[in-house]
A and B are shown apart, each in its own frame.
Chain A
Amino acid sequence: MNIFRLAGDVSHLVAILILLMKIWRSKSCAGISGRSQVLFALVFTTRYLDLFTVYISAYNTVMKVVFLALSYATVYLIYMRFRNSYDSENDTFRVEFLLIPVIGLSFLENYAFTPLEILWTFSIFLESVAIMPQLFMITKTGEAESITTHYLFFLGLYRALYIANWVWRYHTEGFYDQIAIVSGVVQTIFYCDFFYLYVTRGEEIRTPS
């Protein structure tokens, strides 16, 4: 563990909590893409299948359980609890355009042709594009509430910090995880234009619709 990865995990947790609290407190999921949240729940589900078979550390196990629980709680709030505020009109990104290429690629590019490795690779590739429905929804509605922009900021920051973690681990322990790195760089690039808007425009984001 290093400071970059720890900061990344904290940033990731903060992002998830920001969104969950926003929905819970405002009792509404307006402006939130339920599709992206389903994809994130799928990312955690397919990535943490080794939760009960491989013990890394208490931290690792606890964080996996927390991420799984919070992501499913978020999906539950959107599609069940506050479903009448769910903006299905604008949450229309064709997720099959993400899932099919990601499934195909995870069969082509993986470390081992075993179910666990392919599902892990699928989750890594899927995570890099899972925010697309949310970014698409924001461009469609032409705006994002300030809390949603904070959510996106911390979510983008987490994988940027993981890139720093991979650089650090390469230089200190010669470790590198090529699939995670390539996917993580692509994922972070997708946030770049949002980061620019977030920093220059501050809170409210008006995308040129």
Chain B
Amino acid sequence: NAVTGRKDEL
């Protein structure tokens, strides 16, 4: 699942 936009990890 491509993780674009909202990234919740530092």
Determine whether the beta carbon of A180 is less than 8 Å from that of B10: no
Cβ contacts under 8 Å, B10 to chain A: 9, 12, 60, 63-64, 67
Using a Cβ–Cβ cut-off of 8 Å, how many residues does chain A contribute to the interface with B?
23
Give A113 to B3 CA distance when docked, in angstroms.
13
Indicate with 1 or 0, residue by residue over B1-10, a CB within 8 angstroms of chain A CB atoms. Answer: 1111111111
Give A55 to B4 CA distance when docked, in angstroms.
15
Does A177 reach chain B (CB closer than 8 Å)? yes
Determine whether the beta carbon of A175 is less than 8 Å from that of B1: yes
Partner of B4, one of A111, A162, A174, A180: A111
Give A50 to B4 CA distance when docked, in angstroms.
12
Cβ contacts under 8 Å, B1 to chain A: 174-176
Determine whether the beta carbon of A120 is less than 8 Å from that of B7: yes
Partner of A56, one of B2, B3, B8: B8
Determine whether the beta carbon of A111 is less than 8 Å from that of B6: no
Cβ contacts under 8 Å, B9 to chain A: 5, 162, 165, 177, 180
Q: How far is the CB of B5 from chain A (nearest CB, A)?
A: 8
- Tell me which residues from 60 to 80 in chain A have a Cβ below 8 Å from any Cβ of chain B: 60, 63-64, 67
Give A56 to B8 CA distance when docked, in angstroms.
6
Give A34 to B7 CA distance when docked, in angstroms.
29
Query: 30 A-B Cβ contacts within 8 A?
Result: A5-B9, A9-B10, A50-B7, A54-B6, A54-B7, A56-B7, A56-B8, A57-B8, A60-B8, A60-B10, A63-B10, A64-B10, A67-B10, A111-B2, A111-B3, A112-B2, A112-B4, A117-B4, A120-B7, A162-B9, A165-B9, A174-B1, A175-B1, A175-B3, A176-B1, A177-B3, A177-B9, A179-B3, A180-B3, A180-B9
Q: A67-B10, A174-B1, A177-B7 are in contact. List 10 more A-B contacts (CB 8 A).
A: A54-B7, A56-B8, A64-B10, A111-B2, A112-B4, A117-B4, A175-B1, A175-B3, A177-B3, A179-B3
Which residues of B line the A interface, CB within 8 A?
A: 1-10
